[in-house]
Amino acid sequence: MRFGFLILSAFAIVFSAFSTPVAAAQVPPTGDNALTCALLYSYFGDTGPAYNRLVAEAAQLSGRSDAAVRTDLAERLPRLFEALADGKTSSAPFKDLASDACPNTFGVAPMTIGASRQANAPVAGLSAVDPQRCAGLARWFDASFPTPTWNTTVAADAMVRRAGNATGLNFETMDRQARSFKPASGEVPPLIDEMIRCQSAYDTPIPPGVVLAAFKYGNRPGIERGRSHFCQTLASDFDRIYPNIAEIEQGIATNPVPTMGTAEQKMNLMKLYFQAMDLAHCSKEIGMPRVARYNEFVDRATEAARQARERQLRGQ
């Protein structure tokens, strides 16, 4: 958590460069600023041509690959959502930056607010959204529509935390209440809509359980923000568990049987992430690079096992 907070503090330094609309055109076109702009576009659900151009600019200006920049963004976006939910940063300046400073600096189209952020527009009666019910729904959806990879989520935790802040209850008390919640109605689509209203009221992305419910019952306006958060988190978790292939190859060469067992366990775990990405309808930009990395792992581990088998046969 401390490392993530330091990263987000760095965001604030970059954001400060975009202090006023008047100075927007004079913002230095640096790699850090291009990365920040790409992050903002992603936050607002605009991952079209302008976003892709910002990614390319960030890669060129920082001397990194396009894939490295996208991986960096995939890691930063969930932390940004978490910081917003925890009150560590404010989204107040984001829209002006993405609509003015970023286009003026990098010559891209202004950010277009996607369905994921349109739900944050003022809604009649929004103040009447019950925070305790929102926390309960978040836990209920994750329990009722579990992912193949993980259950308790950053998004649901954030909703519980925001509900506690709104009612003056600590996290533990609100969480106990949320975990015992059961909706009176068995009709899921209205509950999805209600959860999206919670997302709007408390500026916290809907948890994966809602995204998976929408896969079964149909998409609803405002679902994209939660899908983006879920997919980005899946991508980050996949990258975290991805093994050092060279170490696996060396292990198979020196101690083949247990190392091949470990490799198989890793492969099975990675398949679960692909299953979750499919259920969430994650983009090809999220899934395909990781499918390629998975295939490389399988191919190299298989070849190492073949060579180990040949050495064993020659030694008999």
Asked if the model's pLDDT at residue 220 lies above 80, the reply is no
Asked if the model's pLDDT at residue 116 lies above 70, the reply is no
Q: Which of 113, 135, 166 is the last residue of a domain?
A: 113
Asked if the model's pLDDT at residue 134 lies above 70, the reply is yes
pLDDT, residue 312, reads 80
Tokens of 16: 């400060």
What is the mean pLDDT of the segment spanning 54-81?
85
Verify that 15 and 100 share a domain, yes or no: yes
Verify that 96 and 10 share a domain, yes or no: yes
Local confidence band at 79 (pLDDT 50, 70, 90 cut-offs): confident
Verify that 130 and 107 share a domain, yes or no: no
Q: Which of 168, 186, 218 is the last residue of a domain?
A: 218
Decide if 8 is inside a domain: yes
Verify that 81 and 13 share a domain, yes or no: yes
Decide if 223 is inside a domain: no
Decide if 74 is inside a domain: yes
- Determine how many CB atoms are found less than 10 A away from the CB of residue 87: 11
Decide if 145 is inside a domain: yes
pLDDT tens sequence across 14-27: 344 343 443 444 46
Asked if the model's pLDDT at residue 126 lies above 70, the reply is no
Verify that 150 and 100 share a domain, yes or no: no
Total domains, the chain:
3
pLDDT, residue 152, reads 57
Residue 29 lies in domain: 2-113
Verify that 7 and 87 share a domain, yes or no: yes
Asked if the model's pLDDT at residue 259 lies above 60, the reply is yes
Decide if 236 is inside a domain: no
Give the highest mean pLDDT range of 67-71, 113-117, 173-177, 224-228: 173-177
What is the mean pLDDT of the segment spanning 35-41?
89
Q: Which residue has the higher pLDDT, 282 or 92?
A: 282
How much of the chain exceeds pLDDT 90, in percent? 30
Task: Tell me the average pLDDT of the chain.
Answer: 80
Verify that 104 and 159 share a domain, yes or no: no
Verify that 109 and 7 share a domain, yes or no: yes
Verify that 72 and 9 share a domain, yes or no: yes
Q: Which of 80, 113, 146 is the last residue of a domain?
A: 113
Verify that 10 and 108 share a domain, yes or no: yes
pLDDT tens sequence across 136-182: 999 999 999 988 876 557 889 999 998 988 888 889 999 999 999 99
Verify that 99 and 140 share a domain, yes or no: no
Please give the backbone phi and psi of residue 108, each rounded to the nearest 5 degrees, phi first.
Answer: -110, 170
Tokens of 79: 């932390």
pLDDT tens sequence across 236-257: 889 999 999 999 999 999 988 8
pTM: predicted TM-score of the whole model, two decimal places: 0.57
